[in-house]
């Protein structure tokens, strides 16, 4: 497991911590790696009838309650907590909880969209009221063409839209797209380095994925402070458009 944690950490740029009896602290976003086999089994269950080429990761939250170290035994409990249909397609939410010795140590919620084959008129851009906050810093975040394949290898998220040009084009993209969880993990690792966060304190990460990222794009990461212990952040592509925000 330690080798797996190290490989995952290198891909997402997480600073590895060793604390408890020299054991490796699991990166907060490593829970996505642990949950993915379960998510994959639920999403692609024949009863769900989900086409992976039309699947979109729309929202993600991860709540870290207690730190966990490599080698500790965890149990996982998950459920499809909501399902609804709309003109643009179907939407469902999967909630997963992680337990150690009967006590919850982390919880995650993933919202997925299954795009409709019909062309739907785009709604007017959402106008979101932003709280007054102080912009701390804007940092360039570079990706490289092989990043999606490397993340697929260490995370298990090998949906063909991330690894195959043909599959990505069949899904309507110009080429393979970066996994949403990889984009989030890169952002979280960068913010943690800037704030000196080592992953041991309880915290909540939640983002909405707004646009796809193509491996090789140069991104701009911005974060601020809202006056408390919350650090709103966003990631923009080369055109200045948000690809995710908190």
Report how far residue 190's alpha carbon sits from residue 128's, in angstroms, rounded to the nearest whole number: 25
Which tokens is 225 given? 């402070």
> HSE of 243 in the Cβ direction (CA atoms, 13 Å)?
26
Contact 147, 162 (CB under 8 A): no
In the predicted model, what is the mean pLDDT of residues 154-161? 92
User: Across all residues in the chain, what is the average pLDDT?
Assistant: 86
Burial call 6-21: b when 16+ CB within 10 Å, e when fewer: eebbebbbbeebeeee
Which tokens is 29 given? 């976003």
Report how far residue 139's alpha carbon sits from residue 121's, in angstroms, rounded to the nearest whole number: 34
* pLDDT band at residue 47 using 50, 70 and 90 as cut-offs: low
Over residues 95-148, the pLDDT tens digits come to: 999 999 999 999 999 999 888 766 544 444 444 444 445 556 889 999 999 999
Element (H, E) at 80: strand 75-86
pLDDT value for 127: 42
Over residues 181-207, the pLDDT tens digits come to: 999 999 999 999 988 888 888 999 999
Using the predicted structure, report yes or no on whether residue 54 has a pLDDT greater than 80. Answer: yes
Whole-model pTM: value is 0.88
Contact 23, 31 (CB under 8 A): no
């Amino acid at each position: 497991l330690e080798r797996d944690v190290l490989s995952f950490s290198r891909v997402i740029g997480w600073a590895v911590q060793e604390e408890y009896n020299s054991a490796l602290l699991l990166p907060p976003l490593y829970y996505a790696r642990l949950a993915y086999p379960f998510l994959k089994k639920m999403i692609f269950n024949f009863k769900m009838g989900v086409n992976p080429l039309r699947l979109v990761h729309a929202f993600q939250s991860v709540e870290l309650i207690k730190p966990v170290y490599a080698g500790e035994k965890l149990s996982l409990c998950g459920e499809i907590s909501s399902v609804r249909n709309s003109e643009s397609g179907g939407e469902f939410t999967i909630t997963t909880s992680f337990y150690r010795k009967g006590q919850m140590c982390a919880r995650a919620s993933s919202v997925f969209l299954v795009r409709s084959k019909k062309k739907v008129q785009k709604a007017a851009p959402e106008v979101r009221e932003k709280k007054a906050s102080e912009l701390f810093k804007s940092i360039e975040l570079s990706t490289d063409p092989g990043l999606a394949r490397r993340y697929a290898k260490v995370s298990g998220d090998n949906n063909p839209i991330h690894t195959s040009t043909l599959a990505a084009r069949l899904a309507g993209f110009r080429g393979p797209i970066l996994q949403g969880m990889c984009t989030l993990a890169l952002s979280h690792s960068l913010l943690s380095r800037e704030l000196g966060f080592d992953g041991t304190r309880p915290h909540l990460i939640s983002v909405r994925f707004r646009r796809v990222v193509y491996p090789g794009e140069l991104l701009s990461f911005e974060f601020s402070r809202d006056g408390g212990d919350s650090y709103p952040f966003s990631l923009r592509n080369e055109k200045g458009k948000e690809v995710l925000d908190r």
